[in-house]
Amino acid sequence: MLCYSKKRSMAMASFAFSFSCFLVLLSFFVFADAAGTIGINYGRVANDLPTPDKVVELLKSQGIKRVKLYDTDSAVLTALANSDISVVVALPNELLASTAADQSFADNWVQSNISHYYPKTQIEAIAVGNEVFVDPKNTTKFLVPAMKNVYNSLVKLNLSSIKISSPIALSALQNSYPSSAGSFKPDLIEPVMKPMMEFLRQSGSYLMVNAYPFFAYTANSKDISLDYALFKENQGTVDSGNGLKYYSLLEAQLDAVFAAMSAIQYNDIKMVVTETGWPSLGDENEIGANEENAASYNGNLVKRVLTGNGTPLRTQDPLNVYLFALFNENQKPGPTSERNYGLFYPNEEKVYDIPLTLKDLGNSQSTPVNRNNSQVPVNGTSGEVSKTSVGQTWCVANGNAGTEKLQVAIDYACGEGGADCRPIQPGATCYNPNTIEAHASYAFNSYYQKKARAAGTCDFGGTAYVVTQPPQFGSCEFPTGY
């Protein structure tokens, strides 16, 4: 809406128009005071991306003031110097063991990768590892010691204002429905969740969370309303545990994490959504992966963040979000969706057009987003989402592990491991397709589910990994729990 005045034949008409413009502008100022921030993940698993200098110019042209990286690449950090863009960098999972074991290693890493660029490059936080609990190399035990050593290094260099955290996936939850019953997996609580939360509390940091409503929707499209997943107008879902009403799946997911934090007495820790997004293209079985839905999810999320308050459970804590991702990355492994989360093509053209700033919102005429009434307790249970809609994971075989290794792992899973391998016997429901990868995936997943999806139970000597979408092998249905 353009707010300008022209001479009117009637003074009252001029006043009414000017006053309406004032209200529009005032609403943006009010929302901005209580609203969150939007950033973006700049991944580089591709061979056709623009140079870092060009990427920084693109970020500036779009008004993006926050960016999250997956490493500390020298060319990227140098390009971001003096750009007025805040940066989150990362210490990769493969460095966790060395960082945890040796303070001098952490000191050298911080000197070379942080202090060398700071403050010209506005590094505001370090993500130590990424989704470590599902890392097939089982690096969970190194996480908190590594976080502490990096923090100690920052203190030595008078850089303790830089926050330390580590992004967790929703698979860290044992229960996520209803949101009020959210809880962490028992085997994670004492070894890592409590120590990490205590570190975040003592260092004044926040929890990083990666949350993808797309995964829940594509796996449960019969149970979850697409409008509910995309922040569109919908009748909402009532949490039977506390009476709060939700109008978006993402907020329900985040509040499940908040409830899990509260259950272990850390309800004072803040949260930042370090990854969320929706793919513009996917495989045939990736229901909902298309350009229209991607534009709706990301566009409506930006509006929700920039013009709203917090989640129903944490109304006073603004939503701070990093969209995934800046570019489509053509070398990412996995299903087609993995290579199509970007807002931009590598040639810097938009995949679809969405607002990214308050200024953009002022010029857009998109559909409204449910916002202010999401925190109001109500009675009733209409529209509840299936318990299986969030936080579900499966274990599958790595097809590149080799027949010999996979057979050894199958023998263990179906024998000493106690997996239910009857469905993959000749003539049984999951015998076809009769391939080593399909049979291993079924056996591994049976073992994983019997062990309550505990951390480290989907490894099998590096021949297996965790996925967040139902495995597709013929018509076989993989169990999700016992």
**Residues forming the active site:** 131, 275
Give the tokens for residue 355: 């607002």
Asked if 324 and 344 touch (Cβ cutoff 8 Å), the reply is no
Rounded to the nearest 5°, which phi and psi values hold at 88?
-105, 125
* Residue 372: how many other CB atoms lie within 10 Å: 11
Cα 387 from chain centre:
19
Cα 389 from chain centre:
16
Q: What is the DSSP string of 164-216?
A: EE-EEEGGGEEE-SSGGG-EE-HHHIIIIIHHHHHHHHHHT-EEEEE--HHHH
* Residue 436: how many other CB atoms lie within 10 Å: 17
Q: What is the DSSP string of 319-350?
A: --EEES-SB--TT--SSGGGG---SB-TTS-B
Rounded CA-CA distance 112/94 in Å is 17
Rounded to the nearest 5°, which phi and psi values hold at 344?
-130, 150
Q: What is the DSSP string of 374-400?
A: GG-B----TTPPPGGGSS--EEEE-TT
In this structure, is the dihedral angle defined by the CA atoms of residues 217, 320, 306 and 177, taken in order, positive or negative?
positive
- Spatial neighbors of 22 by CB under 8 A, at least 6 apart, are 3
Q: At what angle do helices 143-156 and 194-203 cross, to 10 degrees?
A: 20
